[in-house]
Chains A and B, each alone.
Chain A
Amino acid sequence: MSLIHSPRHAEAAIFRATIGAGEPFLKEVKAGQTLRLLDLEGNQAVDTLFFSASNPRERYDVQRTLRKQNRVYLTTGTVLYSNLGNPLLTITADTCGRHDTLGGACAQESNTVRYALDKRYMHSCRDNFLRASLHDGRLNKADISANINFFMNVPVTPEGGLTFEDGISAAGKYVELVAHMDVIVLISNCPQLNNPCNGYNPTPAEFLVWD
């Protein structure tokens, strides 16, 4: 696992926003711009989906992305492909080392399955995805597919096991991506309290954009 740092300075960013713990976030990033997701306090899963801004039916495609790189984790050099086969973004820097894209997003309904029936009424990433999508108007439930969990550690074993492990991220770790087309970035800063994906303590993340 190699860690690649970025030469970019936060002071030169054209856009900065702090995404509070458990909050949704939706932002358009233009072709050629670079975005950074910064884990401010450590061990925070940032559930993220990408869509083409000119045709939101074109979206991040997990299976094509994994197949094209022949690897199960995302890190520097990973090209995120769309369901139409086009590169959406490329990861250009990563000080965390790897990111999950198999674990999906938490939802009220999956919480009932994973933890207990009475966990239904806890806040969840799918609530955030739907809230941001429906207010924006360009996206709806049908557009929500398997997402990326930046900073989340979900190792797959050679025997086919899959577990949620304590995060390998820490305060100040970040990942940067350059956009190859105008993209909509849809984020849920994960509110999950029932497993170690956020270290049982959801915290804020920062979103920065450079031209």
Chain B
Amino acid sequence: MTSALSLRPSLYEETVPGGGHTSFVLKRGQLLRITDLEGGANVSLMLLNAAEKSERLNLPDSLKGQHTAKLTVGHCLYSDMGRVLAAITADTCGWHDSFGGVLSATEVQEKYGAGRYQELRNSFFRNGVDNLLVEMGKWNLNLQDLLMVLNLFSKVTVDSDGCFHFAEDNSKAGDYVELYAPMDTLVVLTALQHPIDPNPAYAPKPVQLSWSQVAEDGISVLCRTSRPENGRAFHNTERQYI
């Protein structure tokens, strides 16, 4: 599902190279578009309340509240305080994964072999745990705050026996997902391969980040009304500003 092209001036754009990590506050009323530039990207994402960072993305609450294991357009990403850290207002690839998590340094070495800075310089093999931890450390967060992460652009299905299957080609070049922030949300992300992507080579893909200001939050109507739970989560979010 795509969002209509609108006259929404872009505030800023930046490309995150494969293996890169970054963090920033997505301010209330801003929209972040994340675009898979080459196809096959994966972005591991963590969200927190920028004003009170003990309030964090709670994927279990997000999944059970919306009766879904996958996340796509119309869904909200809830905090543990029952608020909407981000609403998925557009999504052209249709499925984002909540199962896979991120690999540690040890797991990356087991999967891809050694890839040290000493030989590879900035092409060294990064891992999601350390990348997210480094970004979180910049905000005085730590290992306790590394919770379940969402893996954007990746699809993992569950068969009738409960086994996982990684869907290749879930995301094509140009696919994008948009996150609308109804509150000031600290976004922490890294562009690395999905942990159960069967590709044996370390080859993380770049993504583009594009920030825009939303004039009014009509953009969130779909998310607000897609389920009654989301209406109440938006209510809890807006109560912060009374």
CA distance A164 to B58 in the complex (A): 17
Known A102-B63, A143-B144, A156-B158: A113·B82 in contact at CB below 8 Å: yes
Q: Is the CB of B164 within 8 A of A71?
A: yes
A181 at the binding interface (Cβ < 8 Å): no
Complex Cα–Cα for A163 and B61 (A): 12
In the complex the two chains form, what is the Cα distance from A122 to B107 in whole Å?
Answer: 42
**Interface stretch among B20-28, B31-39, B64-72?**
B64-72
Nearest-neighbor residue (CB-CB) of B105 within chain A: A85
Contact (Cβ within 8 A) A142 B145: yes
B163 within 8 A of A: yes
Which A67-120 residues have C-beta < 8 A from chain B? 67, 70-73, 83-85, 98, 102-105, 107, 109-110, 112-114, 116-117
User: CB-CB < 8 A to A126: which residues of B?
Assistant: 80
CA distance A110 to B157 in the complex (A): 26
Q: Is the CB of A71 within 8 A of B60?
A: no
Minimum C-beta distance from B131 to chain A (A)? 15
Is B99 part of the binding interface, using a Cβ–Cβ cutoff of 8 Å? Answer: yes
> Are B80 and A62 interface neighbours, CB within 8 A?
no
Q: Check B163–A104 contact: CB distance below 8 A.
A: no
Instruction: Give the CA-CA distance A203 to B193 in the complex, in Å.
Output: 44
- In the assembled complex, the Cα of A154 lies from the Cα of B68 at a distance in Å of 11
In angstroms, Cα B158 to Cα A154, docked, is 13
Stretch of B5-13, B182-190, B203-211, B230-238 contacting A (4+ beta carbons < 8 Å): B230-238
Q: Is B41 an interface residue (CB 8 A)?
A: no
Q: A156-B158, A160-B68, A161-B69 are in contact. Are A113 and B106 (CB under 8 A)?
A: no
Contacting A at CB under 8 A, from B80-115, are 80-83, 95, 98-102, 104, 106-107
- The answer on a CB contact under 8 Å between B232 and A112 is yes
Query: Residues of B contacting A103 with CB < 8 Å?
Result: 60, 63-64
CA gap between A116 and B60 in the complex, in Å = 18
Task: Kindly specify which of B117-125, B146-154, B171-179 makes contact with the partner chain.
Answer: B146-154
The yes or no answer to A145 lying at the interface (CB within 8 A) is: yes
- What B residues does A104 contact at CB under 8 A? 58-61, 63-64
Tell me which residues across on chain B come within 8 A of A135, comparing CB atoms.
none
* Interface: A54 (CB within 8 A): no
Pairwise interchain contact A66-B78, C-beta atoms closer than 8 A = no
Q: Report the count of interface residues on B (CB-CB < 8 A).
A: 49
Q: Is A162 engaged at the interface, CB distance under 8 Å to the other chain? A: yes
* Residues of B with C-beta under 8 A to A110: 58, 61, 64-65, 78, 80, 82
Chain B's closest residue to A145 (CB) is: B147
B-chain residues with CB within 8 Å of residue A117 when the two chains form the complex: 232, 235
Interface string of B43-82 (1 = CB under 8 A from A): 0000000000010001111011101111000000010111
Closest chain A residue to B230 by CB distance?
A113
Could you say which residues of chain A place their CB within 8 Å of the CB of B78? Answer: 110, 113
Give the one of B54, B104, B232 with max A CB within 10 A: B232
Least distance between A55 CB and chain B CB atoms (Å): 10
> How far, in angstroms, from A64 to B229 measured CA to CA in the complex?
29
Q: Check if B143 is an interface residue, CB within 8 A of chain A.
A: yes
Q: Given known contacts A142-B144, A158-B157, A162-B67, is B229 in contact with A113 (CB within 8 Å)?
A: yes
22 contacts between A and B (CB under 8 A): A57-B142, A62-B148, A64-B101, A66-B164, A67-B101, A67-B196, A70-B164, A71-B162, A71-B163, A72-B158, A98-B162, A104-B59, A105-B60, A109-B82, A109-B236, A110-B65, A110-B80, A113-B82, A146-B147, A146-B148, A160-B68, A160-B69
